[in-house]
Structure 1
Amino acid sequence: MNNTLRAASLLLGPLLTAVATFFWEDTRHGLTASVIGLYATVAGVYGTLYLWDRLTAWKPWVGATGLVIALLGFLGGVAFSLQGVFEGLFDVSKTASLDAAAAHPAAANLVLWLPGPAYPLSLAALAIALAWSRLAPWPVWTGLLCSAVCFPLSRITRTEWIAHVADLLILAVFAALALLVLRGRLDPAPATTP
C-alpha cells in the first residue's frame, strides 16, 4: 500500500505541474496555474522524500544533502505558487509584483530567489545520486539531468513549448521512478561508510 501511495505521489506532482502549464496567462502563471502548481508541489513531496530515503540507506550523507535540497525546492515551488495566487487574487501586475519584491530584498531572496533554483538543482542531485548508487537505469537519471536543464530554461524564459517539453520529460522520468517503486526495485544495498 505504501509503495502505491509513493508511486501515486511521484506521478501526481509532475502531472499536475504539466496541467498547470496549460493555464499560463500571457507568459505568467496566473491564478489557476498557480493554484494547480501549489497542489502539484505538495502532491510530489511524499514520493520524493521516499527516493531520498532510499538513497540515505545507501549513503547517509548523500541522502541527507539531497533531502535538504529537495525540501528547499519544495519551498520554492510553494512560494512561487503563492506569489501567483496572490497576484491573481489582488490583480497585481508583474511589474508591481517585482517592485514589491525589490522593496524587501531580504525576504524576497530568502523566500523566492534562493529556494527557486533548488528544484532544478534537486533534479540534478537526484540524477547524480541515482546514477552513482546504480538504483535507477541510465535513461532515468539521464532524463532527470535533462529535466534539470529544461525546467529552469522554460520558467525563466516563459516559453510555453519549452515548458511543455520540460513537463513531459519530468513526467516521463517520474513515471519510470514510480514504476521502479511499485516493483520494489529501489531497495539499495546496506549503507556504506561515509
Structure 2
Amino acid sequence: MGLLALRRASLVLGPLLLAASTFFWVDGRYGVTGGVIVALSSATWVYGLVGAWEHLHTRLPAAATAGLVLTLLGTLGGIAFGLQGFFEGVYGITAGESLSAVNQHPVAAWLALWGPGPLFPLSLVLLGGALLWTRLVPRPLAVALLIAGAAFPLSRIGRVDLVAHAVDALLLGTSAWLAACLPSRLPVLTACPQEGSGKPHP
C-alpha cells in the first residue's frame, strides 16, 4: 500500500473508530471498550491529518506549522481522554470520583487532559480555514470541516448520544471526503544549498 493510500485510509479509519466508540458510552462516559477505541482513533487519524498539513506547507508555512503542532498535541489529549475512560471502567470509578482525583493534580491534568484536549478540534477548524483560504479542496468541504471541528467539543461536553452520533457522522463524512480530495503528490521542495557554496546538494 502506497503512502497516499495509507493517508487516505487513516482519514477514514480514524473518524470511523471515533464514531464506533460513541456506541459504547456508559452513562455518558467512554468506558473500557469505548476508551480503547477512542485512543486507537486518535493514534490512527493523526497520520492522515499530518499528511493534509504537509500539502499546505508551501502555501501557508506558518499556519501549517501551527496546525501540525496543534494536531499532535490534540492527539495526545485524545489518547489521554480515551485511557481515562478505560481506567475509569476497569476500576469502577464514577465520573465524580475521577474528576475529584484528577483535580488533585492540576498541573499534570492540564498538561495531559485540559490543555491538549481542545487542541484537536481547534486544529480541525484551522485546517478547514487553511483549505478554504488556499482553495485546495472544494469550498463546501472546507466549510464542513470548520463546522465539524467547532461542533466536536460541544457534542462531548453535553454527552447527548444523538448529538454525538450526528457530529461523529459529520466528522466521518468530512474526513473521508478530504481523503478523496488529497492531491496525489506533495509539493516539490527545493534542495538545500551547501553551506557557503550557493549550490544544491548533488
Give the TM bin, normalised by the shorter chain.
Answer: over 0.9
1:16-65 superposed Cα distances (whole Å, 9 cap, x missing partner): 00011111111111111101111111111111110111111222211101
- The gaps in structure 2 that reach 5 residues or longer are 191-202
CA distance in 2, matches of 1:45, 1:70: 7
Look up the SS of the partner of 2:123 in the other structure.
helix
**Aligned equivalent of 2:10:** 9
- Kindly indicate whether residue 138 of structure 2 is the aligned counterpart of residue 137 of structure 1: yes
1:136-165 superposed Cα distances (whole Å, 9 cap, x missing partner): 111111111111222111100101111111
CA distance in 2, matches of 1:93, 1:159: 18
Structure of greater Rg: 2
CA distance in 2, matches of 1:173, 1:189: 27
CA distance in 2, matches of 1:149, 1:3: 27
Q: 1:135 to 1:188 in 2, by over 3 A?
A: farther
- Kindly indicate whether residue 74 of structure 2 is the aligned counterpart of residue 111 of structure 1: no
**C-alpha deviation, 1:101, in angstroms:** 0.9
CA distance in 1, matches of 2:79, 2:155: 18
RCO higher in structure (CA 8 A, sep ≥6): 1
- Kindly indicate whether residue 38 of structure 2 is the aligned counterpart of residue 37 of structure 1: yes
**Aligned equivalent of 1:126:** 127
TM-score under structure 2 normalisation? 0.89
**Aligned equivalent of 2:198:** none
Q: 1:88 to 1:25 in 2, by over 3 A?
A: same
**Aligned equivalent of 1:28:** 29
Please identify which structure carries the higher helix content: 1
1:88-109 superposed Cα distances (whole Å, 9 cap, x missing partner): 1111111110001111111111
Look up the SS of the partner of 1:103 in the other structure.
coil
Look up the SS of the partner of 2:19 in the other structure.
helix
Determine if contact 1:76/1:112 at 8 Å carries over to the other structure: yes
Determine if contact 1:120/1:148 at 8 Å carries over to the other structure: yes
**Sequence identity percentage:** 46
Determine if contact 1:150/1:162 at 8 Å carries over to the other structure: no
Look up the SS of the partner of 2:7 in the other structure.
helix
**C-alpha deviation, 1:189, in angstroms:** 8.9
| Aligned positions of 1:1-194 closer than 5 A | 1-181=2-182, 184=184
Determine if contact 2:122/2:150 at 8 Å carries over to the other structure: no
Determine if contact 1:69/1:121 at 8 Å carries over to the other structure: yes
Code of the aligned partner of 2:143? T
Code of the aligned partner of 2:6? L
- The gaps in structure 1 that reach 5 residues or longer are none
CA distance in 2, matches of 1:142, 1:59: 18
